[in-house]
Structure 1
Amino acid sequence: MTAELTMGPVLFNWEPDAWRDFYLQVADEAPVSTVYLGEAVCSKRAPLFDKHLEEVVTRLEAAGKKVIFSSLSEVTSAVDRRLVKKVAGSEGVDIEVNDISALWYLGDRSHVIGPFVNVHNEDSLDAFAENGARHICLQPEMPKDGIRALAEHAAKRDVTLEVQVFGRIPLALSARCYHARAHGKTKDSCLFICDQDPDGMVLRTLDDRPFLTINGIQTMSYTRLNLIDELDELNAMGISHFRLSPHSVGTVDAARIFRAVLDGNLTSAEATEQLRPCGPDVPFSNGFYHHRPGVEWRTPAVSD
């Protein structure tokens, strides 16, 4: 099966010009077929990037990239609802649904189901497929047996599947903003304090051990997911799309490395070493895939 790389939406609050420059670099240099754009975490951030959106979309499409607009992943206010309506209600564009409220505006239009929506069994996959989903990005917590079962079922429904293979793992969302609270602010008066942490703010335990990462209202892994060793197995299961989640450094380099492995021009062991500077300086993990705690890192030499 042909394997395609995709670039997920930027989940962090970057300075708008840095956001624009990242996507222009993706357009020119990243060997990805699909790019997801849009604010998936906090509706307050979305207007910051509006001035660059047309330029970014034009450049990506001119480079032959398919652009899909990602909807918000949690809807708790009127502002959130307006953003979902603005994105999902847009005609003539492809939409990734990250909260099922977006389905209200899509009607019978075909769409993508994003990783913030639970698709954990065949029945849920059927329900979304019957409502117009043609492509589903599974949650990164899914173990390989679950991925395999859904891949077999998706093939019967003519639905393609995507799996995140690199980057910090989104774990949970809250109505409250952890980032603002950590700086003595409220969600409504945050002053966009999360822009101080372009790859998230590390949460430490009482004995000062790094534990999780905070990104506004979102909780993420401290470690970086890395499924470079599992690419062949995933592709053999029927997974056709592999998602990279952006970080402030090295993301385009990571795309080149993953493409080289998929094309057979680099071994996974060589790739693992080359991937270390691609993103924050934190350990790799792949535990969820192997039915283990997500924080764990299992090498090919370790049997299941």
Structure 2
Amino acid sequence: MKLSLGPVLFYWSRERLLNFYADMAEQPLDIIYLGETVCSKRRAMSLDGWLGLARELRECSRAELVLSGLTLVEASSELSSLKRLCDNGELLVEANDIGAVQLLRERNAPFVAGPALNLYNAHALSELIDCGLRRWVPPVEISRHLLQDCLHQLDVLGRQRPQVELFAYGHLPLAYSARCFTARAENRPKDDCRFCCLNYPEGIPMYSQENQALFTLNGIQTMSAEVCNLLPDYPEMAATGIDVLRLSPRYEGMASIIQSFAEVRAGSMPPLALDGCNGYWHGQPGMLRIDGAEL
């Protein structure tokens, strides 16, 4: 299986982003996603900046480079930016909003279907394959058995399977809202947030009244509190027919995480004890931790 680095979901400074991708260029990655998917106010990097970074990465990395678009398009200015992204003329685009699918279809451009698109069966996939879908990142809550059923449905329909890229590591993006939760936490209106997401490079942890970690708040995005980690499930993922494993960027220690997945891919035994959560993959609540001994 290939390894991909998903788009950075948090708001980091331009300097931090450039340093991060300079480090990632040296890692055994097959695909690197660039771009802003959460909030259009996060302008540490413009589209031209992302494209310039992509050109630099081409010089020092063998990885395929992909541009990711916004997940929630609310304003005409965001739609205009999305059109520019779809017209970039250099890189494959990851569509995270159905509007991006329409724009790419009009341009006869192939695309990646991101995890925010509600694609849960072969009939929906078949429609998007006709629009140009080449690689599919299933929704993060999809289970192994549901994924197998969906791929089998495609075979029954006589449709060629797209590449399947599974979200295998990172805080799970669960939901999006028009309201900015990070600004609200600092008692600021969304239109005057003062880019306070910069203060939380891995989001704001949210706890229950019993002090149990439930979610991570990241601007308009609600994420899992636990980090999803499917490395112990590597053999089952390989047997399911998955082509790519997506690793979502963390602020620290990302190189060691990539190396752990690369070592298992190269033949090392996957760990039995799980550090993180993997419930969704096993058809259970996502926050659960199911170790190999429990399977």
In 1: Cα distance, 2:259 partner to 2:94 partner:
24
Instruction: State the partner residue of 1:267.
Output: 269
In 1: Cα distance, 2:283 partner to 2:266 partner:
28
In 2: Cα distance, 1:151 partner to 1:229 partner:
23
In 2: Cα distance, 1:187 partner to 1:92 partner:
33
In 2: Cα distance, 1:235 partner to 1:121 partner:
20
> What SS does structure 2 have at the residue aligned with 1:199?
coil
Instruction: State the partner residue of 1:36.
Output: 33
In 1: Cα distance, 2:153 partner to 2:2 partner:
20
Structure 1 residues 255 and 136: CA distance shift in structure 2, 3 A: same
Structure 1, unpaired ranges of 5+: 277-283
Instruction: State the partner residue of 1:7.
Output: 5
| Pair 1:174 & 2:177 matched | yes
In 2: Cα distance, 1:48 partner to 1:79 partner:
17
> What SS does structure 2 have at the residue aligned with 1:84?
helix
The match for 1:245 among 236, 243, 248 is 248
Structure 1 counterpart of 2:201, one-letter code: P
The match for 2:78 among 66, 77, 80 is 80
In 1: Cα distance, 2:162 partner to 2:213 partner:
38
Report Cα offsets for 1:28-82 as digits up to 9, x if no partner.
Answer: 2x1111001100000111x311374344212321211111000100011123212
| Pair 1:124 & 2:124 matched | yes
* Distance apart, 1:235 and its partner CA: 1.4
Q: Report the TM-score when normalising by structure 2.
A: 0.93
Instruction: State the partner residue of 1:292.
Output: 284
Q: Report the TM-score when normalising by structure 1.
A: 0.90
In 2: Cα distance, 1:114 partner to 1:54 partner:
19
Structure 1 residues 96 and 174: CA distance shift in structure 2, 3 A: same
> What SS does structure 1 have at the residue aligned with 2:99?
helix
> What SS does structure 2 have at the residue aligned with 1:83?
helix
Structure 1 residues 158 and 206: CA distance shift in structure 2, 3 A: closer
In 2: Cα distance, 1:262 partner to 1:223 partner:
24
The count of residues paired between Structure 1 and Structure 2 equals 288
1:153-232 alignment, distance < 5 Å = 153=153, 156-232=159-235
Report Cα offsets for 1:137-195 as digits up to 9, x if no partner.
Answer: 11111011011123334564241111011000000000010000110101110001011
In 2: Cα distance, 1:24 partner to 1:126 partner:
38
> What SS does structure 1 have at the residue aligned with 2:74?
coil
Instruction: State the partner residue of 1:26.
Output: 24
> What SS does structure 2 have at the residue aligned with 1:297?
coil
Cα RMSD for the two superposed structures: 1.6
Report Cα offsets for 1:235-287 as digits up to 9, x if no partner.
Answer: 111101000000101112111110100111x32127x68xx6xxxxxxx0000
Report Cα offsets for 1:194-252 as digits up to 9, x if no partner.
Answer: 11111110112233332100000000000000101211211111101000000101112
In 2: Cα distance, 1:218 partner to 1:192 partner:
15
Structure 1 residues 90 and 154: CA distance shift in structure 2, 3 A: farther
| Pair 1:136 & 2:133 matched | no
> What SS does structure 1 have at the residue aligned with 2:260?
helix
The match for 1:97 among 90, 95, 102 is 95
Identity %: 30
CA contact (8 A) 1:72 1:83 kept: no
Structure 2, unpaired ranges of 5+: none
Structure 2 counterpart of 1:289, one-letter code: W
In 2: Cα distance, 1:81 partner to 1:43 partner:
10
Structure 1 residues 158 and 292: CA distance shift in structure 2, 3 A: closer
* Distance apart, 1:19 and its partner CA: 0.8
| Pair 1:49 & 2:45 matched | yes
